[in-house]
Chains A and B, each alone.
Chain A
Amino acid sequence: MKTKKPNHFKKNYQVLVFLIPALVFVFVFSYIPMYGVLIAFQNYVPGDPIFSLQADWVGLYHFNAFINDFRFEQLMVNTFLISIFGFLIGFPLPILIAVLLNSMRNSKASKRLQTIFYAPHFISIIVLVGMLHLLFGEYGLINHLAIALGGAKYSYFLEADAFRPLFILSGNWQDFGWSAIIYLAALSGVDPTLHEAAVVDGASRFQRVLHIDLPAIFPTISILLILSIGNLMGVGYEKILLMQTGGNISVSEVISTYVYKTGLTGFPDFSYATAIGLFNALINVFLLIFANTMAKRFSENSLW
């Protein structure tokens, strides 16, 4: 059998055929738009040949315009605050849940709970925001309960103060269980003899969590931490657009929703919107590289 070994190292060109469709789709729908960011440095007018190099080049004009936009500071702050509060709750929560689920005495109950906790992940954002309206709306359940308990009606969708908690906590509600999967996977790989030995030595379950379970998922935690830092300015538009009202726009307008509005609604300004989007994407890439470099310096866990 040993003589067969070199076969493993021979480059296989036949299998490349299996990749052709995927490579074509990724090239067309990911790489061509990447090339398309060039319009951020042009004055693109609708109707111009798309992605042409013969356009009216304006250099960093649109980037300057954005930095001097009177909304600039507010957009940056809003994006950052939503992201950082979301991170402070949303990052540790799945770790805690995974550790607790993994250390339940009744493993059948643990499995059943996992099925329950994954369920909200499959709900669409439209339905989720619709549910928020039904529960927190003027005639919603929460307002009824508040009145019954002697409180007053509160317009959760019109008050700016309510936006961030509602947005972030509903996101946590939807995804804490699903995000725990990756930690549960890491925990399922822990060698049972470690636990056996610890039990014989008289360690309590809590001590075993601290000294066996947590160290076991530490590499996973670091990788996900790097990815989260890389996405610190990456608040998406899909859910925010559905939750925005005149009352909360002062805190709910973020970079991505602003890109959508300037680029695709009203009188679209393609170049300006692309420049804002690119500015945002570059911040994220920079943050990712920064986080990874830090991780490399201080631990063995890094993305590359």
Chain B
Amino acid sequence: MKLFQKKKTLFEAKGDKYYYFINNLIMGILAVIVIYPLYFIVIASVSNPDAVMNGEVLLYPIKFSLEGYQRLLGESQIWIGYRNTILYTTIGTALNIFVTIPAGWALSRKNLAHRKFIMWFFIVTMFFGGGLIPFYLLISSLDWIDSPLALIIPGAVSVWNVFMTKAFYESNIPEELLEAAKIDGANEYRTFLSIILPISKPIIAVMVLFYAVGHWNSYFNALIFIHSENLYPLQLVLRDILIIAEGVTGTGDPQTILEQQRIANMIKYSSIIVSSLPIIILYPFIQRFFEKGFLIGSFK
């Protein structure tokens, strides 16, 4: 590899300078387009709300202020949402892992009985489904309307994720390992628990990430199934703060309307940051998996 690098510089074609320059330029512009909106939310959340409203905040916080965060502390609904989402995410993800990992492992085994039939049984659901209304009627006939079960159980398994797990095992577990286990007299269950599970950490981590982010961010099932505000997940509370409030124009003189706008806007920035906090904290850890190239490998 070292040799190759040397050669590259020796034989580098003349036009390459321009190619690399244009490439870097495009990447630089894209990086700004991706980062700036996120950066703006952060600086706006710690700036004086009036400065934000007047469009003074552009590159750095203006008149540093935590008023938005202080106001948010008083919004009890967002903390109820936070608690609910943590519960739904933890329980839901635990169930996801319990269902997905063994299923992916079984499908990765070439000699699995009825393998072809089972594969098609899963694949069909990726391209065709009953749709929203039959799903709704199923949940309501299970009597899960306004119950957290409606948010946890139906999404217990994602077929995509099962296939990703399968791909991980196919490319990471050598056949000899299973042979050895068999010769040592371990049955399938023993093999899975004491040999496969301990070397499944990377795929479990990625699955936890995918499922947990999915639970954390989902809102639609809660919108149609959950009616009690004390069962609302965080995203539904956020929807009220970020989106519904946008359509409401207060009555009264322009001054009051502006004041209402000001207060409403103030907590928008801070609520985005607070609600995304777990993902922001987790992201550097997740990033390790990107760098290892593991994630990339499992997409193949």
Contacts and interface: CB of A to CB of B under 8 A. Distances in A.
Interface of A: 4, 7-19, 21-23, 25-26, 28-37, 39, 50-51, 97, 100-101, 103-105, 109, 111, 113-120, 122-127, 129-131, 133-135, 137, 139, 141, 143-145, 147-148, 157, 173, 177, 181-182, 184-186, 188-189, 192, 196, 199-200, 202-207, 230, 237-238, 241-242, 245, 256, 259-260, 263-264, 270, 273-274, 277-278, 280-281, 284-285, 288
B219 A126 contact: yes
Interface string B103-124: 1011101111110001001100
Contacts of A205: 13, 15-16, 19-20
B112 to A, nearest CB: 5
Contact of B37 (A111, A131, A137, A260): A131
Nearest to A182: B299
Name the prevailing secondary structure of the B interface residues: helix
A36 B137 contact: yes
Given A50-B137, A97-B30, A141-B55, A181 B295 contact: yes
B132 A273 contact: yes
B132 A186 contact: no
A133 B30 contact: no
B11 A200 contact: yes
B55 A144 contact: yes
Instruction: Name the residue among A16, A33, A185 with the largest chain B CB count within 10 angstroms.
Output: A33
Nearest to A200: B11
B297 A277 contact: no
Nearest to A278: B131
Given A34-B128, A126-B238, A245-B247, A185 B296 contact: yes
Report the interface size class on chain B.
Answer: 35 or more
Contact of A196 (B4, B31, B132, B137): B4
B282 to A, nearest CB: 9
14 contacts: A7-B182, A18-B192, A32-B134, A104-B27, A117-B30, A119-B283, A122-B279, A124-B276, A130-B268, A133-B268, A144-B54, A206-B16, A284-B128, A288-B127
